[in-house]
Amino acid sequence: MRRVRRSFALLLPLLLAFVAMLTAGPQGMVDWRAQRAITIESDDWGLSGFVPDAAAWDGRRREDLTPGSFPAVYWNSTLEDSGSVAELAAVLGAFRGRDGQPALLQPNYILSALAWEGGQWRRYDLPELPQAYQRPGMWTAVREATGRGVWYPEFHGAWHYDPERRQSATAADPGVAAAAERGIMLFPGSEAARELGPWRSTPQLAAELDTALAIFGRAFGRRPGSLIAPDYTWDGRIEALWASRTLVVLQAKREQRHPRWPHGPVGRVLKVVDRQWSRAVRPERTYLERNCRLEPAQSPDAAATVAACLRDTRKAWRRGEPAIVESHRVNFAHADPAIAAAGRRGLREYLECVAALEGGPGVFLADVEVASLMRHGVSLRQAGEVRIARNGTHSRRVAFDPAGLRRGTTASLILLDSHFEGPVPASADR
Ligand SMILES: [Zn+2]
C-alpha cells in the first residue's frame, strides 16, 4: 500500500505537468470578451505568381506542369495591382471600430521573386518586380492604404518555394522553362517544394531570413512584428531561428504542417503534443491561432462562407479570444476580375454583419497589438501619421514607445487611462 502511495506521489507532479502542458493557452492580461477584437490576416501579398495574367495559359495545357494539388482558383492567382489594393482599401475604410479606427487588413508579404528572363534567372526584391509582373501605381496604392490605417504589412517569407527546386525543375525541362519565361511561377512538384522544408540547410535559411528582413525594412520602414510560414510548413529549428531575430509572434501554429511526420491519428496527436509543449516551454513566444475563415473565392456559396465566419467570430469572442480571420490574397487579387470583386463583396458583407451585431463592431487589431495586449495589457501601433494606443486593463498603465525613444523628441513612456483606445493622447505624461 505504501509503495502504491509513493509511486502515486511520484507520478502526480508528472501528471499535473502533463495536464498543464495540454491546457496551456494564450496568455491574457485583458478580457477579450469585452474587447470584441477582429484581426484579419491575409497571406501571399507581394508574391509574383501564380501567373502574371490569364493569357499566360494561352496555347498551354496547365496540367502538363504537374505542380501538385491546390484549390482550383489558384491557377489564376496573380500579383495585386494598384486597383485591387485601392478597391480593397476603400472597402476597409468604409467601416470603423468603436474606437473610430477603420477596419484593418494585415497583408503578409513575400519579399522576393525569381524570374526566368531572356534565358537566365534574375532576382527581384520588393519594391522591384519582374518584367512580367509590372504593376504601375501599386506602391502608391499601398502607401495610401497604409497612411489611411487600413493596411499593416507583416512577414510571410522570401520566395514561397524552395528556389533551388524551382531552378532544377526549370533546367530539366524546356516546357517548364517556356512557362517560366511567361512568368508562370508553377513547376513540377512546386506545391510540395516548401520554402522552409526540412531538407533545406539552417545556415542557408538564416541568410535568406536576414536578407528578407532587410528587404522588408526598406520596403515598409520598420521590422515585421508577426509572421506566417509559407504553406504553414516549418519546424523547431526555424522557430528558434525566428526567435533569434526577435520574431516571436507566430501565426497559425494549429495549421502547422510537418512534411515528415506520419499522417492520420498518430500525426494529429503528435501535432497537439508539439503545439502544447511549445506553448508551455516557450512562454516568450506568442502563438496566434486563426479561428475564423473568410475564403469566398474557394467556396461555391460565398454567402454561407460569410455567415460561417460571422458565427465563428461570435464564438471566438464568447470563448474569450480575439477573432482572427484568415483571408488569402486570392480573394482580392485574381486574373479574373469577377473573383476579386466577389472577394471584396464577401469582405464587405462580413464587415456589415459585424457592424450590425448587438454591442457594435468591436475593434480591428493587428497581430502586434493582440500580442502586446495579451502580454502587457497595453499596445501601440503606427497607423499612417497616428500612433494608436490601447489599454485593455482596468487600471492606468504605462506603455513603452520604442519609436519615441528612437526619435528622441516625443514620448517614450505614455500613461494610459484604463480601457483607453485611440490616438496617443496629447496630454499623456512623459
Ligand atoms: Zn502563402
Query: Is the confidence at residue 4, as pLDDT, over 90?
Result: no
CATH 3.90.930.60 for domain 30-371, yes or no, is no
pLDDT digits (tens, 9 = 90+) for 45-98: 999 999 999 999 999 999 999 999 999 999 999 999 999 999 999 999 999 999
Distance 111 CA to ligand 1 centre (A): 12
Distance of CA 71 from the midpoint of ligand 1 (Å): 13
Q: Against a cut of 0.85, is the pTM above it?
A: yes
According to the model, what pLDDT value does residue 360 have? 79
374 or 18, which is more confident: 374
- Note the pLDDT of residue 176: 96
pLDDT beyond 80 at 117: yes
Which pLDDT band, with edges at 50, 70 and 90, does 422 fall under?
very high
**Mean pLDDT of the 22-40 span:** 80
The rounded Å distance from CA 274 to ligand 1 centre is 22
pLDDT, one tens digit per residue, over 356-409 is: 998 877 999 999 999 999 999 999 999 988 999 999 999 999 998 876 655 555
pLDDT (0 to 100) of residue 28: 73
4 Cα to the center of ligand 1, angstroms: 53
Assign 3-class secondary structure to the chain. Answer: CHHHHHHHHHHHHHHHHHHHHHHCCCCCCCCHHHHCEEEEEEEEECCCCCCCCHHHHCCCCHHHHCCCCCCHHHHHECCCCHHHHHHHHHHHHCCECCCCCECCEEEEEECEEEEEECCEEEEEECCCCCHHHCCCCHHHHHHHHHHCCCECCEEEECCCCCHHHHHHHHHCCHHHHHHHHCCCCCCCCHHHCCCCCCCCCHHHHHHHHHHHHHHHHHHHCCCCCCECCHHHECCHHHHHHHHHCCCCEEECHHHCECCCCCCHHHHHHHHHHHHHHHHHHCCCCEEECCCEECCHHHCCCHHHHHHHHHHHHHHHHHHCCCEEEECCHHHCCECCHHHHHHHHHHHHHHHHHHHHCCCCCCEECCHHHHHHHHHHCEEEEEECCEEEEEECCCCCEEEECHHHHHHCCCCCEEEECCCCEEECCCCCCC
pLDDT at 13: 63
Cα of 9 from ligand 1 centre, angstroms: 48
Q: How close is the Cα of 29 to the center of ligand 1, in Å? A: 31
> Could you tell me the residue ranges of all domains in the chain?
30-371, 377-430
Distance 359 CA to ligand 1 centre (A): 34
Find the 45 Cα to ligand 1 centroid distance in Å: 8
Mean pLDDT, residues 6-18:
64
For ligand 1, the distance from its centroid to the CA atom of residue 131, given in whole angstroms, is 22
How far away, in angstroms, is 327 Cα from ligand 1 center?
A: 11
- Alpha carbon of 156 to ligand 1 centroid (Å): 7
Instruction: Give distance in angstroms: CA of 47 to centre of ligand 1.
Output: 8
Kindly tell me if the per-residue pLDDT of 429 is higher than 50.
no
What b/e sequence results for 129-168 when a residue is b if at least 16 CB atoms lie within 10 Å of its CB, and e otherwise? bbebbebeebeebbebbbebbbbbbbbbbbbbbbbebbee
Could you report the per-residue pLDDT of 256-305, keeping only the tens digit for each? 999 888 889 999 999 889 898 888 889 999 999 999 999 999 999 999 99
182-241 pLDDT, tens digit per residue, is 999 999 999 999 999 999 999 999 999 999 999 999 999 999 999 999 999 999 999 999
pLDDT in tens, 146-170: 999 999 999 999 999 999 999 999 9
